[in-house]
Amino acid sequence: MDKRIGVYICQCGSNISDWVDVEKVREVIREENGVVLARVTMFACADSAQKEIVADIQQEPLDAIVVASCSPKLHLYTFRSVAERGGLNPFNYVQVNIREQDSWAHSDQPTQATQKAIRLIRAGIAKVQQAEPLTPVMIPVDNTIAIHGAGVAGMRAALELADLGTTVYLIEKEHFVGGRVAQWGKMSVTNQTGEEIVTEMYRQVIQRPTIHLFTGARILSATGSIGKFTLKLKLIPRYLNPPCDAIGLKKAMEACPIVVDDEFNFNLTKRKAIFHNFKSEFPALPVIDMNACTRCGECLQFCTQIDLDQQEKIIDLQVGSILLTTGFNPYEPKPGEFGYREIPSVITLQQFKRLLELSKGEFRFGGKKINRVAFIYCVGSREVEGEHKYCARYCCTSAIHAALQLREEFHVPYIYHLTRGIRTYGKQEILYEQSSVAGDVYFQFVEDDPPNVEASGDHVKITIHDLLTANQEVSVTVDLLVLVTGMVPRENDELEQILKVPLGRDRFYNEVHPKLRPVETVLDGVFIAGCCQGPRNIHESVSSSLAAVSKIYSLLNKGEIQLEPTLAIVNPDTCEWCGKCVEGCPFDAIEKAETDKGFVARVIESNCKGCGMCTIYCPTEAIDIKGFTNQGIRSMIDAMAGD
């Protein structure tokens, strides 16, 4: 017997109705078999519309509903909840996307868009006719989490989760925590230093007995699924056996003959193969860089705690969830970009900020006192052509704050800012005003006419067509040119292959939805926070990490979690165990099982994502997906193909 189906066609304000004739769609759809009610609504997701649907389910009564609106990515759970409140099984509801897949895609062909909407809704009706009540799968969950990245966002999340009773494994690829913040001196708005922030957070981390910190750690593999992930870690040793004699270590570092560029100072200075040079580097233990070390043995004469024979360790961790807080990299200009690497007096913003910290007394660079400094903004951001089309958000504020520090601490009199428009949003606008009042000079250029940079003796000459003076050509000669560089994604190729977290077009990790699910990924149990998902300042990074804490704790604290019941299911009567489904499954969710009739495939429900890859590989159609059966898909195709 046909189900009694209600169909709701959303205008989405005008996002759908401007191009789809929703009244015509309703007139056609109301005649479909099983449809007892068809309504047009302004906003199906609005509270008033939801209450109307609940009332219809109960009064008609309806056996199933179809909502034709926006993407299920946005409101799948909204309308499942509506179905439940009306007394339906939530899986007797189907959402049809007639916005992203129809009205927006075919805004230049409204007649055809209307016809497509009718066909899409017919397919939804056919699907819901085949739908069966499904019961979610419940699995136990470990109240433990792995946080990858021990910067400010990662440490703050670890502290909050530990205080809520969750066991935390804090994993840091480098041998020191703090991320980029450890490299900065005074920071905008608060004037706190990176050293102060990292020192306090690290002190709190080591005081929490439920936080287990691993530095020099790499994730080699990840198996399992939400509630019970198994991670394999490789731990790279420091080649030291603490406790260490400070005097002996100092002599050992002095004796080391190997000198390399110091990446902490963005290669402005040098360091030894055995190093620990900065107060903000925690744990406060040196490490030997085995990529540089020649094992000459000079250091062994002064420090008996050095052990060059320490071996890497492999350990397994079992966790209920994973949080990625892997941070960002500053953009590295290409050789020749605004004179970078070709003119000695051209440096990046990150180098400039380290130079401020390293300078004492007077501000010098390249052996000369600096009296004139220029900043070129949006280097590696807002590109007309290229992959960095986004605004990196923090750069304007950081550059202006650094310029104020330069003027205040070193009394540099001439400071020029060459911008494409200042974006010091919120209260950071105060810094822009302070800079202007202090005497900094601002010019503005357009993206297709950037400043020209050339060497002028041991100075740098910059020529610009300035929008603020009616496009006049202006030239300034400075002692130092700073390229204000933006944020780019940190290179995590191995991690991306292991966890398969999707990336956006900007190559940052991609959340499900920036407003509705801002810290969740499409992988259940895997969350993201901080600058790994896009450019942001410290306050914004911490805010996103706290949002992730809220989501993670609500998930892990229950003791068990509910999985989607749309999982693979095997018909043992038709399965001949060829093993092809195992080859096709990307989540290790199928295993070989023995029955009275022989070997068949068996689905590991906790691993299965319902992706359907196994159904493609199965030559006998012995595997189906609950809620998305082969028969159901065929009925949808037939419905769309019909007149």
Q: Do the bridges between strand 137-140 and strand 560-563 make them parallel or antiparallel, or are there none, so unpaired? A: antiparallel
**Residue scoring higher pLDDT (642 or 338):** 338
**pLDDT at residue 159 tops 80:** yes
Q: Give yes or no: residues 322 and 259 share one domain.
A: no
pLDDT category of residue 244 using cuts at 50, 70 and 90: confident
270-287 average pLDDT score: 89
| pLDDT value, residue 246 | 82
Is 269 domain-assigned?
yes
Q: Which domain holds residue 512?
A: 144-236+312-327+490-556
**pLDDT at residue 619 tops 90:** yes
Find, among 321, 342, 14, the residue nearest to 168 by Cα: 321
Work out the number of other CB atoms within 10 angstroms of the CB of residue 368. Answer: 12
Q: What share of the chain in percent tops pLDDT 90?
A: 80
Query: Which DSSP letter does residue 181 get?
Result: G
Q: Give yes or no: residues 40 and 154 share one domain.
A: no
Q: What share of the chain in percent tops pLDDT 70?
A: 100
Q: Give yes or no: residues 497 and 481 share one domain.
A: no
pTM reported for the whole predicted model: 0.84
**pLDDT at residue 499 tops 80:** yes
Identity (one letter) of the amino acid at 232?
K
Q: Give yes or no: residues 391 and 484 share one domain.
A: yes
Is 531 domain-assigned?
yes
| pLDDT value, residue 393 | 92
How far are the Cα atoms of 144, 174, 195, 246, 635 from residue 318, in angstroms, in the given order? 8, 22, 33, 37, 43
**pLDDT at residue 513 tops 90:** no
255-263 average pLDDT score: 95
535-552 average pLDDT score: 96
16-44 average pLDDT score: 96
**Residue scoring higher pLDDT (442 or 576):** 442
pLDDT (tens digit, 9 = 90+) per residue, 37-80? 999 999 999 999 999 999 999 999 999 999 999 999 889 999 99
Is 200 domain-assigned?
yes
| pLDDT value, residue 45 | 95
Q: Which of 31-45, 297-311, 377-391, 572-586 has the highest mean pLDDT?
A: 31-45
Tell which of 540, 556, 572 closes a domain. Answer: 556
Is 262 domain-assigned?
yes
Q: What end-to-end distance do the CA atoms of the chain give, in Å?
A: 23
Which helix or strand (DSSP H or E) is residue 587 part of?
none
Tell me whether the omega of the peptide bond preceding residue 242 falls within 30 degrees of 0, making it cis: no
Q: Which of 376-385, 457-466, 486-495 has the highest mean pLDDT?
A: 457-466
275-290 average pLDDT score: 89
pLDDT category of residue 491 using cuts at 50, 70 and 90: confident
| pLDDT value, residue 522 | 85
Number of domains the chain contains: 5
pLDDT (tens digit, 9 = 90+) per residue, 396-440? 999 999 999 999 999 999 999 999 999 999 989 999 999 999 999
3-class DSSP state of 116: helix
Is 597 domain-assigned?
yes
Tell which of 515, 532, 556 closes a domain. Answer: 556
Which CATH number characterizes residue 422's domain? 3.50.50.60
How far are the Cα atoms of 231, 411, 511, 527, 606 from residue 523, in angstroms, in the given order? 15, 52, 10, 8, 13
| pLDDT value, residue 1 | 58
**pLDDT at residue 285 tops 80:** yes
| CB contact set of 548 (below 8 Å; sequence gap of 6+) | 157, 323, 519, 527, 528, 529
Q: Give yes or no: residues 435 and 394 share one domain.
A: yes
Alpha-carbon distance 351 to 357, whole Å? 10
Q: Give yes or no: residues 494 and 481 share one domain.
A: no
461-477 average pLDDT score: 96
Beta-bridge mates of residue 260: 271
**pLDDT at residue 643 tops 70:** no
**pLDDT at residue 134 tops 80:** yes
Q: What is the mean pLDDT of the chain?
A: 93
